[in-house]
Amino acid sequence: MKRLIAILFLVVVSTILYGLTIRGFEGNPFSDKINRNLSESPGPFESSHERAPYALTYSLVENGSFALNKELADFASPDTVIKDDTFYIIFPPGISLLAMPFYNIGKAYSAAQLITFAGMTLFALFNLVLVYTISKHVFSIPTNLSLFSALIFGFATTSWSFASSLYQHHTTTFFVLTSFLAAWLYKTRLRTKWIWASWIWFSLGISVWLDYPSVILFAPIIFFMTLSSLKLKKVGDNFKIKIILIPLITSVIFISLAAFHGYYNHVNFGGWKNLAQLEPRYDTKLLNETTDEKKLDEIAKAEKTKSIEGVATENQFFRGFYILTIAPDKGVFFFSPILLLAVLGIVQSFKVIKKKLLELITFSSIFFINIFFYSSWGDPWGGWAYGPRYLIPSMAVLSIFTVIWLWINRHNIIVRIIASVLFIYSAAIATLGAVTTTITPPKVEADFLKLKYGFFNNWEVFINGKSGSFFYNKFLDNYVDLTQFYSIILIFISVYGLLLLFIKTSSRKDGN
């Protein structure tokens, strides 16, 4: 009962915090007349990464079409492509499809944008519960520390900035975490293997619709399931090998979803493996600013010969690894130094939690693959975004390894003090992003444009008293200033975190 209350408390607190920082405004964009520049920053549509999926959601609901009309294409630009004089968004349509029911609900209450974004917050909330559950049940970490891992992921990392938005990262993280949990249940439960295997394949199939690169994050999970399907036993003079065929049979779910996506590509882009990303981009800003016909021809030619070859290469790894780990504009450990403890957690967990070796290898592999792939990616920065948004699934993984390390060193008070300091610092940076803006230039662009980069940019927005928060702008602006709003949130998170951290930690149930 106590545990249930604790989880409920976490969910309620998190809902409030996400609610306080959700970005948006009232009204139904495109259907109603909105007296503001939709793309202004800070705001819900400051990034084309949010405008494009929203435009598609609108198009799907209102026009019943994956193609965008000119107005929506201009709105979503430059994340739009053009194929046979028809406009599409550059991303897979998964997020927009998932957002449709929320859009419909919101539209009925004249809050289409707000409710659509809030719908995505559901996945962020699920992720907090999943982080807790994996920590508690898979790795048998005590309740207080498991709750602390959820708090780290939710409010001491930059995942917060993307929790109430149309970015795909929280949904991807949701499917990765549920799949890991399902793979563990597949291994440990005898009667329900069908369900768990089906869910893993379903998640993989859905991920194809959400974000192509995220598919590789499932590799260790599929591997885990496959290994759990093989049993080797020595009986007398023979080795008996048992191969469970459930993963093979249920893979039809993934094949169906992937095939359906292929059909989507075929209908819209002329071939099952023709992706929207490979079609020429429709960039209104570029078109308006470039007057040189010759240059436009060159751009058009380059756009027509795009290929996925070389999107990730070894040559780019070292630069990308630096950017994603410690760089001041994007580094995950620069924005959330609490996660540094997770590195120690990974190393120590292999020595201490020997009974869960396969689970540890699988779970840490999600992080390794995530960072390996995006370090090798041509654009490791993820454009103008607050923190390393591509590493949001890793932030969930690292949050758990952080508390594993805290549990291993639970008798050392210094460890907790260090963790407290790092947690508060990380939460301060995460809160700064959540209350201001998600579009922050990477250093390489900021230097060129003579802007500030990373959270230094957000600090400037903060000092100027600008917030993207709907709740603050609508209800609190006249009563408290942004500093007070920010301080209240940060103090609340810090107190909650410290309470969880300093409660006496019980022993893990299963020993090592």
Binding-site ranges for other proteins (CB under 8 A) = 234, 237-246, 249, 309-310, 312-319, 357, 361, 376
| E-assigned strand segments in 6-126 | 80-83, 86-89
Residue 246 burial by Cβ neighbours in a 10 Å radius (0-12, 13-18, 19+): middle
Comparison of 191 and 234: residue with beta carbon closer to other proteins = 234
Amino acid identity of residue 343, one-letter, is: V
Positive/negative CA dihedral, 198, 202, 203, 205: positive
Tell me the C-alpha distance between 213 and 391, whole Å.
12
Work out how close the CB of 308 gets to other proteins at its nearest, in angstroms, rounded to a whole number: 10
> What is the 3 state secondary structure string of 333-388?
HHHCHHHHHHHHHHHHHHHHCHHHHHHHHHHHHHHHHHHHHHHCECCCCCCCCCCC
Comparison of 16 and 243: residue with beta carbon closer to other proteins = 243
State the number of CA atoms in the 13 A half-sphere of 274 facing the CB.
16
Work out how close the CB of 226 gets to other proteins at its nearest, in angstroms, rounded to a whole number: 12
Comparison of 66 and 218: residue with beta carbon closer to other proteins = 218
Work out how close the CB of 331 gets to other proteins at its nearest, in angstroms, rounded to a whole number: 18
Comparison of 242 and 509: residue with beta carbon closer to other proteins = 242
Angstrom CA distances, 26 to 10, 22, 51, stand at 28, 12, 16
Work out how close the CB of 298 gets to other proteins at its nearest, in angstroms, rounded to a whole number: 20
Comparison of 252 and 267: residue with beta carbon closer to other proteins = 252
Tell me the C-alpha distance between 488 and 181, whole Å.
35
Work out how close the CB of 292 gets to other proteins at its nearest, in angstroms, rounded to a whole number: 24
Work out how close the CB of 315 gets to other proteins at its nearest, in angstroms, rounded to a whole number: 4
Work out how close the CB of 239 gets to other proteins at its nearest, in angstroms, rounded to a whole number: 5
Question: Largest Cα–Cα distance in the chain?
Answer: 82
Comparison of 310 and 511: residue with beta carbon closer to other proteins = 310
Work out how close the CB of 11 gets to other proteins at its nearest, in angstroms, rounded to a whole number: 38
Work out how close the CB of 62 gets to other proteins at its nearest, in angstroms, rounded to a whole number: 41
Comparison of 243 and 463: residue with beta carbon closer to other proteins = 243
Comparison of 82 and 244: residue with beta carbon closer to other proteins = 244
Tell me the C-alpha distance between 279 and 84, whole Å.
10
Cα–Cα nearest to 150, from 129, 136, 170: 129
Comparison of 313 and 483: residue with beta carbon closer to other proteins = 313
Angstrom CA distances, 24 to 36, 38, 94, 432, stand at 12, 10, 22, 17
Tell me the C-alpha distance between 363 and 67, whole Å.
39
Tell me the C-alpha distance between 125 and 105, whole Å.
19
